[in-house]
Homo-oligomer: A and B are copies of this chain.
Amino acid sequence: MDKNNTDIYVQLLKDRGLRVTPQRLQILKYLNIHKNHPDVTTIFTALRKENPALSKTTIYNTLEALAEHGLVQVLTITPTENRFDAGDRMHHHFLCKHCNKIYDIEIECPHLNRMLEGEFKVDEVHGYFKGSCPSCLKENAKNDHIQNKNIKGLKKDTSKC
């Protein structure tokens, strides 16, 4: 449960028959501590500080291996780059199209049972919302007061609950 303790990550890898390497431990630990859904470049830039020899290719290779074994999730919520999340617990996500931040959304979902009339074999379930986050809405309201300049695509929501 101690996210800073390397031993648990060693065990997670061993349990899955994956070799234990410093890079895998590094990346696994990073994702479990930083729950802000980083992209490859963000992870790379951060981890390179403690390990200057780290290669970006390793980040790609490692994330692919970890994802294949259910240790990380790949979020395809952005139109451009993949974002990553530790663990395999399904939960919903909200992407703010202004600041590009991804928020965890904890709501009930009847689709979690991962079955679709038995015809498809479902490995992953993703629930994505996109729009404007509270912080950007607030920022926009402030600017509106000063100047009549709206954030692109930011209009009043007229849907009723």
Chain A interface residues toward B at CB < 8 A:
68, 74, 76-79, 82, 92, 94, 96-97, 103, 105, 107-111, 113-116, 119-134, 137, 153-154, 157, 159, 161
Query: How many copies of this chain?
Result: 2
15 extra interface residue pairs, beta carbon distance < 8 Å, beyond A74-B79, A107-B111: A94-B116, A109-B110, A110-B110, A114-B157, A116-B129, A121-B157, A122-B129, A122-B130, A124-B128, A124-B129, A124-B130, A125-B128, A125-B129, A126-B126, A128-B128
Q: Are B122 and A131 in contact (CB under 8 A)?
A: yes
Question: Which chain B positions have C-beta within 8 A of A122?
Answer: 94, 129-131, 157
Residue in B79, B114, B126, B132 whose CB lies within 8 Å of A121: B132
List of B residues within 8 angstroms of A134 by Cβ: 119-120
A148 to chain B, nearest CB (A): 19
